[in-house]
Chain A
Amino acid sequence: MFNAFQTLLGRDLLLAMRRRSDLFTTLFFFVIVVSLFPLGIGPEMKTLRLIAPGVFWVAALLASMLALERLFAVDYEDGALEQMLLTPQPLFTLVLAKVIAHWLVTGLPLVLMAPLLGLQYDLSSDALGVMVVSLLLGTPALSLIGAIGAALTLGLRGGGVLVSLLVLPLYIPVLIFGSGAVEATASGMGGQGHLLMLGAILVLSLLLAPLAASAALRISVE
């Protein structure tokens, strides 16, 4: 079982390395969206500091949304997905491996890039630190929750739009606690409570999202 997990994780990372253009689209989308706000609003430090948490988190949400479509679609089209359903491995493990690979490729670069972008918003080093931690806890949860939507809309025409309608409402708690953590730190209240909530959301989605996505995949492949 662990062997299958490793194999699939390795396969997806190898595939991502062979198609690096896909890898960078999400990251550049995030960088550009975040950088547009200071340009549009002007160098008003107070305003920028105020909107920074919200901007970062909404941009991370949209970037993760953008990447979702590719999570299962390629495997679905070339038939690798139906073969996956027919392997003697628990589907939970396989879905988890795919989501983790997906996050390593599309989510982790955003987290690493965030402190650099945060400088444009004149965020304090404390706030930047909390921003990274909140993204580190929040973006895997986004990938996991998004996997359910991606699995449900597999093979549908216009699935891309539908997946946003399905998944964005489910992202709201992550958005609230994620940007809340940064805001609370910036205003000096400490964002620990928010981060703990984010951690709880991550654990819950780690347990439940692969189950729901597996069930959705079985329906979609039929």
Chain B
Amino acid sequence: MTEARQERAPGDRPSREMHASAPSEFLVYTIGLVVAVLLTATSFWTANTTLLWPGGVFLGLAVLAIAQMGIHLVFFLHISSGPESTNNVLALAFGALIVFVVIAGTMWIVADMNINMMMPSGAPMSMQMQQ
């Protein structure tokens, strides 16, 4: 083992050489909690407000959720952009890619199939099933 080696597990404490300049870990968790509570409260407000057009509510909720997931990753799971957690970030990026492909791909394909399942009346299959 060499002293210069810096690797870090997800959710782990910072290494000693980083420790001097880093803010206290208690503070990190507390900041994370406060920001997450603010984002959650904003999400609930967004869902109930009449100020936004319907598409805006959807968009706002999606943005707030992604922001809150990021806050959780940084402040609770301690995923950082530093060289010591490159492996963790790469794994996370691959996971995020697969999640995106699964969700967006499924919705795209099924929406496409729904259009192709037009009934003689002209309404898509899903409309018929609701009646």
Tell me whether A and B are bound partners: no
